[in-house]
Amino acid sequence: MFGVKVKNVTVSKPYTIEEFYEAIRDKKFSAGEPSLTKHGLATIITFPPLDRWNQVWILPVTGLGKNTATKFQVSKNEVAGAGNAAVNMALDSVTDGLSGLRGMVGKKQKTAEKLVDLTVEELKALNL
């Protein structure tokens, strides 16, 4: 998908998103220090944003009704958080979608995509 990069990491045992965060929170990542972030109804792991349109996220890949996962999705997205999502939607509405295009091209977008790849490799190296 244009402007979004998604990769998966499989781990050896099931984790909730909070347990996965606890397992990685003190580790060094090229994307920076991970944190738990509320985004809508979900809790996700995020890394410091490069700008409003480029941030690395980690989400669990769970089955319907399950709260644990052995697969986690690492992706490049807009900045997470309820307030940020509202601002991003408002900017896209006012600019007729042109604001969101900034996250799909440019140096920071390429850096964010590289950080997704590095984060996947760093997670795999932890042998969780």
- Residue-wise pLDDT for 111-120, tens only, equals 999 999 999 9
Burial class (CB in 10 A: 0-12, 13-18, 19+), 65: exposed
The residues, ordered by sequence, that sit 6+ positions from 52 with a Cβ below 8 Å of its Cβ are: 78, 79, 84, 87, 88, 91, 102, 103
CA distance 4 to 120: 15
Domains in the chain: how many in total? 1
CB atoms within 10 A of CB 120: 18
Angle at 128 between CA 60 and CA 14, to 5 degrees: 45
Asked if the model's pLDDT at residue 103 lies above 70, the reply is no
Percent of the chain with pLDDT over 90: 62
Res 37 pLDDT > 50: yes
Question: What is the residue range of 86's domain?
Answer: 5-125
Mean of all residue pLDDT scores within the chain: 84
3-state secondary structure (DSSP) of residue 123: helix
pTM score: 0.81
